Amino acid sequence: PKSKPRSRPARLPPGVSEDVFAASIEELRRSIGTENVVVNDQPLQDGWYLESPNTHDAFHVIEQEELVCSAVVYPGSTEEVQIVVKWANKHLMPIYPISIGRNVGYGGAAPRIPGGVVIDLGQRMHSVVNLDGENASCIVEPGVTYFALYEEIQKRGLPLWIHCPDLGGGSVLGNAIDRGVGYTPAGDHFANHCGMEIVLPNGELLRTGMGALPGKDGRDNSTWQSFQNAYGPKIDGIFSQSNFGIVTKMGFWLLHDMPHQSYCITFERDKDFAQIVDTIKPLAQKGILGNIPQLRHIIQELNVTGQRKSTFHTGSGPMTREKIRQAAKGLPLGDCSWIFYGTQYGDSASIERQLDIIKKAFSSIPGNRFWLPKDVPEDHYLHSRVQVCSGVPILRELDWLNWLPNAAHLFFSPIAPTRGKDAQAIHEIVTAGHKKYGFDLFPTLCIAGREIHYIANVIFDRADAEQKKRAVALLRELIHDCAKEGFGQYRTHLLFQDQVARTYSWNDQALLRVNESIKDALDPNGILAPGRCGIWPKRFRGKGWEL
C-alpha cells in the first residue's frame, strides 16, 4: 500500500515523556552526529524487499502503525554502539538492534516494543573485516549482505562459496544470529560461525571463542576464525535468538567451490508423502544428501512463476486440490504432488554414483520422475536452486509476493522429527488450519537426517484488515495445536514470540526462567530488545507486555 499521513504522532518509548524523549535524542545527536539519529515521524513506506524500511514491519499483519520505532540510530563503529548502549542505560530507553532489517515474515525491522529505538547497524557498519582465502573464512560487520560478501569474493577471485538462504539481501551476521539456514553443505549458519564480538547491555565489549585471547602484538587472535570452542563454557549460543548483546562482528567458515548437480524428483500421489519422507531420512543420515534438500508441494510451482493467483483461479478462497492439479498441467513439471529438490556435490564420478543411490531409493514410489536443469525451461525454479545451492545469492523467492495484491507473508515454522508419520501429523494440522481460516497452503519442508523445518508461508493482503486478523488467528492456533503434539517453532514473528516461548514449558518454564536470570544479570536496566524471543527484563516482566 502507498504511504499515507500518519494517523498518530511518532510513537514514544513506554514511560518516556515527549520532553524527555526530545532532550535525550538531542543528547545522542551531540555524541554521534545529528544525521545519525532520525526520529520516526514521517509517513511510513512499506517499500519493497531491496528498499525495506527500518521504521516498522513492512509486512504488517496488525495495523501498520503498531509495530513502529520512535527513532532510528545509525552507529558508525563499535565505539558508537557502546555510546548508544550507555545512553540507553542512562535514559532507560528500550533499544532494538537490527543488521539489515530484511527479516521478512518474522517482523522485519520492527522493535518488539512499539516506540523502541531501532539501532540500524547495517547502514554504516558494513565492512568485510577479513576475508581469508587460505583459512576459507571471513569476519563481517552487521551490514554485509550475502550479495556484498559474494561480490567481494568474486572481486578478489577467490574460489569460495557463501551459504545464502532463499533471499540474498539479508545480513550474513543477522541471519546467523536469528538462526536462519542456507542450502550449501554448510547451510547451518550459526553452526558455521567462528567467533563473535559483542557489545553487552552495559556497554562493555566481549569477544568469544579464540578472540578472547589477545593476539600477538595487540593483533586479533590468529585462530579466532579457526577454532570455535576456545576455553570454558561456550557462550556464543546465548547471543543467538536472544536479547543479551549486540553483535558487531562475527566470523564465518566458507566452503571451497566444487562441482555440483541440482535436480528434482516429482511424485505422483499426495498420499505418498510419508513414504517420501521416510526415504529421504536414511539418505540424509548416511550423508548421501550433502546439503539440506527441500520437499515442496506442487502449488509452489504455481507461485514461483511470479504470476497472480487470479491467473490460475478466479473464485475467492483457497485453491482446491483439483484447481491446483489443472493449473499444474500447463507447467513444465506437469500434474504431480510433491517435488523433491536436491543437489549433490563432489567430482562427477562421485555425483553419478550418489544419484544412482538416490534414484534407486525413490524407485519404489510410484510415478516418480527425475529431472535435471536441462530438462526444464530456463526460467524454471530448478535453475534458481542450482544457484542458491552453490552459494550464488538471488531474489527469486520474491516471486511469491505476486500471488496477491499488496502481498505480505508470515512464516509458520515448526520442527518435526524426520519420520513419515510425524511429518504427516504436522502436515494435517497445518492443512486443517489453513482450510479453517481460508488461506492457500504453501509448504516447504527442509529435511535433514533427524529433523524437518516445516515452513508454511502464509501470504496475505496487507490492505485487507479482515484477512490480516485471520492470518494472526491461524498462526496462534497452529502454534498451539502443534505444541500440543510436541512440535515447536524454530523461529517466529515478533507478535508470537511470547506464545512460542510459553510452549517450551517443560518443568514449569525452566528454560524461560534461566533466560530471564541471564537477562537480569546482563541487562539490569532492561534496555536491550525487551521481549525479543519472549525474554522480558525484570522492569517489564509480568506488567502486561506479554502477548
The reply to whether 171 sits near ligand ADP by the rule CB under 6 A is: yes
Residue number, 289 or 529, with CB nearest to ligand ADP:
529
> Is there binding between residue 175 and ligand ADP (CB under 6 A)?
yes
Residue selected from 75, 115, 116, 142 as contacting ligand ADP according to rule CB under 6 A: 142
Which listed residue (532, 534, 536, 540) binds ligand ADP by CB under 6 A? 532
95 binds ligand ADP (CB under 6 A): no
In the complex, the smallest distance separating the C-beta of residue 239 from ligand ADP, rounded to whole angstroms, is 7
Rounded distance, CA 109 to CA 91, Å?
22
- Round to whole Å and give the CA distance between 27 and 44: 25
For ligand ADP, the binding residue among 13, 75, 94, 97 (CB under 6 A) is 97
Q: Which residue has the cell 550449501?
A: 184
Quote the least distance from Cβ 141 to ligand ADP, whole Å.
9
Residue whose CB is less far from ligand ADP, 180 or 342: 180
Q: For residue 226, which phi and psi values (nearest 5 degrees)? A: -115, -30
Q: By CB under 6 A, is residue 185 in contact with ligand ADP? A: no
Interacting residue with ligand ADP among 100, 304, 478, 522 (CB under 6 A)? 100
What SS3 class is residue 403? coil
For the chain, what's the residue count?
547
3-state DSSP call for residue 224? coil
76-114 b/e (C-beta count within 10 Å ≥ 16 → b):
eebebbbbbbbbbbebbbbbbbbbbbbbbbbbbbbbbbb
- Return the half-sphere exposure (C-beta side, CA atoms, 13 A cut-off) of residue 514: 7
Instruction: Tell me, yes or no, if 106 is annotated catalytic.
Output: yes
Distance, in Å, from the CA atom of 35 to the CA atom of 324, rounded to the nearest integer, reads 52
Q: Which position among 40, 89, 103, 337 is part of the footprint of ligand ADP (CB under 6 A)?
A: 103
Ramachandran category for residue 123: left, alpha or beta (phi over 0 → left; psi -120 to 50 → alpha): alpha
Question: What's the gap between Cα 359 and its chain centre?
Answer: 32
Calculate the alpha carbon distances from 321 to 133, 431, 456 in Å. 50, 12, 17
Measured from the CB of residue 493, what is the shortest distance to ligand ADP in angstroms? 10
What x/- string results for residues 19 through 38 when contact with ligand ADP is judged by CB under 6 A? --------------------
User: Of 378, 285, 387, 298, which Cα lies nearest the Cα of 340?
Assistant: 298
Give, as ranges, the residues between 267 and 306 that touch ligand ADP (CB under 6 A).
none
Q: Which of 124, 308, 419, 490 is catalytic?
A: 490
437 near 473, Cβ under 8 Å?
yes
- Is residue 413 within the footprint of ligand ADP (CB under 6 A)? no
* Residue 537 lies near ligand ADP (rule: CB under 6 A): no
Closer CB to ligand ADP, 102 or 309, in the complex: 102
Provide CB contacts within 8 A for 125, sequence distance 6+. Answer: 75, 76, 77, 78, 141, 142, 143, 248
182 binds ligand ADP (CB under 6 A): no
Q: Does 177 bind ligand ADP (CB under 6 A)?
A: yes
Q: Which residues have a Cβ under 8 Å from the Cβ of 363 and sit 6 or more positions away?
A: none
Kindly state whether residue 99 participates in binding ligand ADP, applying the rule CB under 6 A: yes
Among positions 170, 195, 209, 537, the unique one binding ligand ADP when judged by CB under 6 A:
170
Q: Closest distance between ligand ADP and the C-beta of residue 208, in Å?
A: 13
Binding of ligand ADP at residue 519 (CB under 6 A)? no
Considering the complex, what minimum distance in angstroms separates the CB of residue 165 from ligand ADP?
8
CB of 187 to ligand ADP, least distance (A): 15
Dihedral, CA of residue 469, residue 470, residue 473 and residue 477, to nearest 10: -170
What's the Cα-to-Cα distance from 272 to each of 162, 367, 442, 495, rounded to whole Å?
35, 10, 18, 35
Q: Does 497 bind ligand ADP (CB under 6 A)?
A: no
Q: Of 43, 41, 256, whose CA–CA distance to 133 is shortest?
A: 256
- Binding of residue 178 to ligand ADP (CB under 6 A): yes
Interface positions, 339-358, toward ligand ADP (CB under 6 A): none
181 sits near ligand ADP (criterion: CB under 6 A): no
Least distance in Å: CB of 54 to ligand ADP? 9
CA 384 to chain centre: 19
CB crowding 260-272: b at 16 or more within 10 Å, else e: bbbbbbbbbeeeb
Amino acid at 434: H
Site for ligand ADP contains 143 (CB under 6 A) = no
**Interface with ligand ADP: number of residues (CB under 6 A):** 21
Which residue out of 11, 491, 532, 539 is catalytically annotated? 491
Task: Figure out which of the listed residues 98, 136, 181, 388 binds ligand ADP, where binding follows CB under 6 A.
Answer: 98
Stretch that binds ligand ADP, among 131-139, 165-173, 442-450, 457-465 (CB under 6 A): 165-173
In angstroms, rounded to a whole number, what is the distance separating the alpha carbons of residues 535 and 523?
11
Residue of 74, 96, 102, 106 with catalytic role: 106
**Amino acid occupying residue 54:** N
Per-residue mark of binding to ligand ADP, 235-274 (x: CB under 6 A): -----------xx---------------------------
Does 57 help bind ligand ADP (rule: CB under 6 A)? no
Q: Which lies closer to ligand ADP via its Cβ, residue 147 or residue 312?
A: 147
Residue 123 binds to ligand ADP (criterion: CB under 6 A): no
CA distance 148 to 163: 13
Residues assigned a catalytic role: 106, 490-491
User: Which residues contact ligand ADP by CB under 6 A?
Assistant: 97-103, 109, 121, 142, 170-171, 173-175, 177-178, 246-247, 529, 532
